[in-house]
Amino acid sequence: MSKKALCIGINNYPGTHMDLSGCVNDANDWAAALSERGYSVTKLLDTQATKAAMVAAMNGLLASAAAGDDVVISFSGHGTYQPDSDGDEIDGLDEALCPHDIQTGGGALTDDEIRVIFANRKLGVKLLFIADSCHSGTVNRAAPSEPEADAPRPRFMPMGNWMPADQLPRTRAGNLMTQIAVQPNRVSPFVSVMLKQQGDLLLSGCKEGPNNYSYDAKIGGRFNGAFTYYALKTLKTLPANASYADWHAAICGYLPSSSYPQSPQIVGNSAARKRKVLA
């Protein structure tokens, strides 16, 4: 059995006015923690994390894994939505991760694309997907924040910051939509693909649905994702036989908080939740 990981962190989003501060630190911190636990780790940071590179790295990692192997993929960066192109979303939106080149030619990495990547691996490969990003229904352009601001910033990129205006959703009258009502109880392919594979787990910084965000934070003078910071903080103090359910409960001892109103999510079957953490 081998243990392999891919850690992606993107602060720099050219052309979007939506740069972040803590995502590269997140990726480096996840890589260090996983290396200590015996994982062979590959990283994609900022300019390395184009859409093509992310797809190639995910495909390569999963293709090299055999039955019984443990694979971890962590992503820290912006999440977004885009109009659904194949009719499989009840709210007309595909959930997506934002690569470095989302606005400069690469586009978003959608849940449909990720579902195909994950589904193509060999049977018996156990996958943990850690997502420190967020998704919401707004298409308003967000104002840029001060680079040294202590206030938390949502890791969500509105469609208006990266999609051409002629591709943005519009009302029947042809006016640009400023808000999209995301179905509160929808189950995205991000979740459904994890449920369909034995042993799969998703740990994410916030719940799905409108007004749920993961935050870029400055804690102790250093930028991180709030979820990543507390996930790694609690990882260090977990008992040797702790399960993923135990880890999630420990993280929820810190989040949500008054500073970071996000509720971390764990998705997976009962057997997966009871599995020993990063064993």
3-state class of 92 per DSSP? coil
Report the pLDDT value the prediction gives residue 116, as an integer from 0 to 100: 87
Burial class (CB in 10 A: 0-12, 13-18, 19+), 172: exposed
Residue ranges of the domains in the chain? 3-273
For 32-35, which contacts have Cβ atoms below 8 Å and span 24 or more sequence positions?
33/232, 33/235, 34/3, 34/5, 34/7, 34/72, 34/278
Q: pLDDT tens for the chain, 279 residues: list them.
A: 899 999 999 999 999 888 999 999 999 999 999 999 999 999 999 999 999 999 999 999 999 999 999 999 999 999 887 665 544 444 446 678 999 999 898 889 988 888 889 888 898 999 999 999 875 433 333 333 434 335 566 667 666 666 666 666 655 555 655 445 555 445 554 566 565 556 789 999 987 766 678 889 999 899 999 999 999 999 999 999 999 999 999 999 999 998 888 999 998 889 899 999 998
The catalytic residue positions are: 78, 134
How far CA 107 is from CA of 10, 57, 89, in Å, comes to 14, 17, 19
Q: Which CATH number is correct for 3-273, 3.40.50.1220, 3.40.50.300, 3.40.50.1460, 3.40.50.620?
A: 3.40.50.1460
For the entire predicted model, the pTM comes to 0.83
Report the pLDDT value the prediction gives residue 200, as an integer from 0 to 100: 87
